[in-house]
Amino acid sequence: MAFALSQGVMNRFWPQTACALAASVTLATAPCAFAQSTTSTIRTTIVPRLSLVKTSDLDFGQVMASSTAAGSVTVTPTGSRSAGGGATLAGGVATAGEFAGAGSRNQIVIFSFGAPSVLLTRVNGPQTMTVDSFTMGPTTSGGLNQLGNSGRWRIVSNNGLFTLPIGATLRIGAAQTPGDYEGTFTLTAVYQ
């Protein structure tokens, strides 16, 4: 059994087939649009009343150690620094530590340090230095008024917000190994 298409059927069939092939080739080579979506996280912390948060780290800047004499560097609560003994100031920016808190006007707050001294350890090394003589700065403009030398302060700001700057002294050994040294200290606020 033979099957044959007449010329009329061929004339109708071939143009439709050719158009379909041309359309598929065009779609295969045409550039496509491409879109992507992604998400990101948004964060914040609402600090409650009767809180205390660190707003600035205590930084002694860059210091050179003597090869023969121990020395020290002091950063005051105002952020100024000085060197003594075998320590020499060598640049960098020194900053006082700073904490912010929230209480109520005329409320008494007692501040205390977790330890009288802190050990700093060289990053990627075992060498250490000590920081001691922590001091709290007078901050009437920062919303606090010191009540004697007992660590007691009165919140004097109308909205109960305050800042408290911190200074300390770094003890540097003779021939102290160069590098970055880090450590942490704790400040506690007891609201009364």
Residues 18, 23, 29, 30: is their CA dihedral positive or negative?
positive
Q: Is residue 175 part of a domain?
A: yes
Q: Does residue 111 lie within any of the structural domains?
A: yes
Strand ranges inside the chain, DSSP E: 51-56, 63-65, 71-75, 81-85, 87-89, 97-102, 108-113, 117-122, 128-136, 144-146, 152-155, 161-172, 181-182, 187-191
In a domain, 43, yes or no: no
Residue 14 belongs to some domain of the structure: no
78: containing domain? 51-191
Domain count, the chain: 1
In this prediction the pTM is 0.73
Going residue by residue through the chain, which has 192 residues, state the pLDDT in tens, using 9 for 90 and above: 444 444 544 445 445 544 444 444 444 555 667 777 777 888 776 666 778 999 999 999 999 999 999 999 999 999 999 999 999 999 889 999 999 999 999 999 999 999 999 999 999 999 999 999 999 986 667 899 988 877 899 999 999 999 999 999 999 999 999 999 999 999 999 998
Q: Which domain CATH number covers 93?
A: 2.60.40
The tally of CA atoms less than 13 A away on the side-chain side of residue 37 is 1
